[in-house]
Each structure stands twice: as C-alpha cells, then as structure tokens.
Amino acid sequence: MIERRPSRGLMVGAVPVGGGAPITVQSMTTTKTADVDGTLAQVYALKGAGADIVRITCNDVAAAQGLAEIVPRSPVPIIADIHFQHRLALAALEAGVHGLRLNPGNIRDPEHVKAVARAAAERHVSIRVGVNAGSLDKELLDRFGGPVPEALVASALREIGYLEAVGFSDIKVSVKHSHVPSMVESYRLLASQVPYPLHLGVTEAGPPPAGLIKSVAGIATLLMEGIGDTIRFSLTADPVEEAEAGRKLLEQLGLRERSGLDLIACPSCGRAEIDVVAVAAEAQRRLEAERIPIQVAVMGCVVNGPGEAREADLGIAAGRGKGHLFIKGNVIRVVPEAEMVDALVDEARRLAVEGVAARLAAADGLAGQLAEEAAAELLALQGDANHARERRARVADVARGA
C-alpha cells in the first residue's frame, strides 16, 4: 500500500486535486485554440481516454476568445496555459477557465503575477506554478550553474512567494525536467519544502516508446514514494496516448480503479502449442474495444496456464488444438483453437453482466477433467519442456555443496 504525501487540497472545477483525493490524469490539446470545434473534439477524445483535466494554450487574443466558447461545452475542467503575457491570463479567467498554469521563467514581473493571483482568487480558480528546466530565469541558471534540481525548486519557491504575498493559496506546483534523475530529485526536494499538491511530469519526453519509458521511470518512481497528486505524460504523439498511458499507470500502481482491460500473457516456451504473441495481440485489440474493466490472461499451454494465472478474472490456455477457458484458475469450457479469442470476448461480456460466481456455477462440469487430461497428454508427448526436475536437482546439489 502506497502511503501518500499529505498535501493541501484544492478544486479544479469539480475535480479535487491533493488533500488525499484520487490522483488525476491530465493532458493538453494540440489544436489551435481558436478552432473551437476541433479543440472540443480533442477534449472529448481525451476525456474518453481517461483524462480528468485538460490544458489548452492561451497564447493570443483569438485563443482566449476560443476558450470562452470551449469552457462551457467541455466535459472536463479546462486549464489555460500561459507563458509570456499576464493579460492573457486575465483574459482566460474572463473566459471562465477552471485553472491557470503560469511559467515563472517567462512572466518575470512580480506585480503581474500578483495581479493574476488576485483575479484568480476572486473567481476561486487555482494556479499551477509550472517550472520547466528549459525556461529557467537566467539569474537562477547563473547562480546554480545550470538547470539543476536546486535551481528548479528555487524558481518554484520564488513564484509561490509572489502568490502567497497576496493571500493566494490554491496552488499546484510542478518542477519538470527532461532528465529523469534530475526530475525525480527536483520533486523530492520540492515535496519536503511545500504543502501544496504536486503535478508530476517529465518534460519533453519525446515520442514513444522512449518517451513512455522516460515518463514511467520518473512519474512511477515518485508515485511509489507517495509523491504526486496529478500527472501528465508529455509525449511527442497524439495526446490521447498521453491520457491512456497516465490512466494505465495509475491503475497498475493501484492508485485508480481499473477502467479497462489489463491483459497478461506468458512469454511462451518450448511447450507452447500456439503463437502466444499473435493470440495475445488479437485478444487485446478486441477486448479493449469492449471497455470492460477486467484482467485477462493468455497462456501458451494448459500444463501451467490456469494455475499461473489463477488471479486473472478470465483466461485461455492452449492445449493440442483446443483452448481451455478459465475463470479465477477454474477451467469452465473447452473450445476449438480457432475460437479462442471469440470465446474470451463472449465470456468477458457474460462476466460483466453475471459476475464470477454465476459464471462458475454455469461451467461445464467436465471442463476441468478435460484440461487435466490435456495437460497429461502434452507432458507425455513433449516431456518437461522446461526441464524443471533436472534444474531443481542441480540447484539442490549447489545448495548442499555437492
């Protein structure tokens, strides 16, 4: 069980962040904000992919005007991304946004920051202090010798000071870096110095798969330490991929309830009677389309499959020309090999409606016996493909010093 760092709670529209609330997923649109319909279409796609909050750029007057139409029609809270002009932050507030992201490296005048904070306070709108290693103030770079964690945290603390000076406290903070170890250390340092909720991300992570790996490495490390209240994967890809990845990461860490498919599969071995990779890929494609929150296992053989994957809600294990369908490790039906994926999809639908107990009660009484017979037949034909007995004997000899 992950023990989360206590943080001060705030609201982004109707979505709570920090204060023990579920960790949220964010992403950012890539459309021109002035294109209202195109931007809204992407917002809805992000919502469908698991985003709880969406950020939209507000880089000119046309973008601010677009926000005025987008916000009332959005299915999720909208945060306006502000860089250089504080008046665009004021315009975004007038447009009704639920949050602002201010980059301390770009808005340099403290009085401008304070003016935005006062206007946000009047509307009960939160502000994220969004520090980025690539846009740090030159004075901080010179003082610390580069975009090191201490420089990022100093930038955040200075900006927080401007907000607190006018009594503003609905604050989130991020200290993003493209170098994963530096990102992790920046957040660790910041977490020990402020009470505010933290927005995690590896900036400029790049395209998948490398971008995904970097993002998971940084974000998951911190989440496992209890640090972080909202996350964003910054990928050079369709932002829908960001939302999907963020949601899946939280589900795998047990920080959000499963909302879709979790497919597990064995790596295959000499005993496998099917192309496990191909079957798993087809099962994943079809089951993801069902949008059923379920864990499904695809196992290469019936000898160990049901036992190894007995915690899965549903699974299939291959025998000679047959698929042995199982629920929680109990074989319930035997189907022809060509129908294995069809059987998985059909049973997943039934499980979603009827539940585990009802499906086990409706199982074919001979299925378990048939599975045992198939396993014995496969062992007789192939022997022990993994040579477990010999390997165990050698290990015992080494342990005893024989």
Q: From 3.20.20.20, 3.30.420.40, 3.40.920.10, 3.40.50.1220, which CATH number describes the 10-252 domain? A: 3.20.20.20
Contact 354, 296 (CB under 8 A): no
Sketch the domain layout of the chain as residue ranges: 10-252, 261-382
Amino acid identity, residue 221?
T
**101 phi and psi angles, rounded to 5 deg:** -120, 120
Q: Verify cis geometry, omega within 30 degrees of 0, for the bond prior to 209.
A: yes
pLDDT for position 401: 72
Cα(37)–Cα(229) distance, integer angstroms: 30
Would you say domain 261-382 falls under CATH 3.40.190.10? Answer: no
Q: Tell me the CB-side half-sphere exposure of residue 100, using CA atoms within 13 A.
A: 36
Instruction: Output the tens digit of pLDDT for each of the chain's 402 residues.
Output: 899 999 999 999 999 999 999 999 999 999 999 999 999 999 999 998 899 999 999 999 999 999 999 999 999 999 999 988 999 999 999 999 999 999 998 888 999 999 999 999 999 999 999 999 999 999 999 999 999 999 999 999 999 999 999 999 999 999 999 999 999 999 999 999 999 999 999 999 999 999 999 999 999 999 999 999 999 999 999 999 999 999 999 999 999 988 788 888 876 666 566 788 888 999 999 998 998 888 898 887 766 667 667 778 898 888 777 888 888 888 888 888 889 999 999 999 999 999 888 888 887 665 556 556 555 555 555 566 556 677 667 777 766 776
pTM equals: 0.81
Nearest of 349, 318, 310, 354 to residue 335 by alpha carbon = 318
Cα(284)–Cα(198) distance, integer angstroms: 33
SS (H, E, C) the chain: CCCCCCCCCEEECCEEECCCCCCEEEEECCCCCCCHHHHHHHHHHHHHHCCCEEEEECCCHHHHHHHHHHHHHCCCCEEEEECCCHHHHHHHHHCCCCEEEECCCCCCCHHHHHHHHHHHHHHCCEEEEEEEHHHCCHHHHHHHCCCCHHHHHHHHHHHHHHHHHCCCCCEEEEEEECCHHHHHHHHHHHHCCCCCCEEECECCCECCCHHHHHHHHHHHHHHHCCCCCEEECCECCCHHHHHHHHHHHHHHCCCCCCCCEEEEECCCCCCCCCCHHHHHHHHHHHHHHHCCCEEEEEECCCCCHHHHCCCCCEEEEECCCEEEEEECCEEEEEEEHHHHHHHHHHHHHHHHHHCHHHHHHCCCCCHHHHHHHHHHHHHHHHCCCCCHHHHHHHHHHHHHCC
- How far are the Cα atoms of 237, 294, 342 from residue 309, in angstroms, in the given order? 34, 13, 19
Contact 88, 112 (CB under 8 A): no
pLDDT for position 272: 65
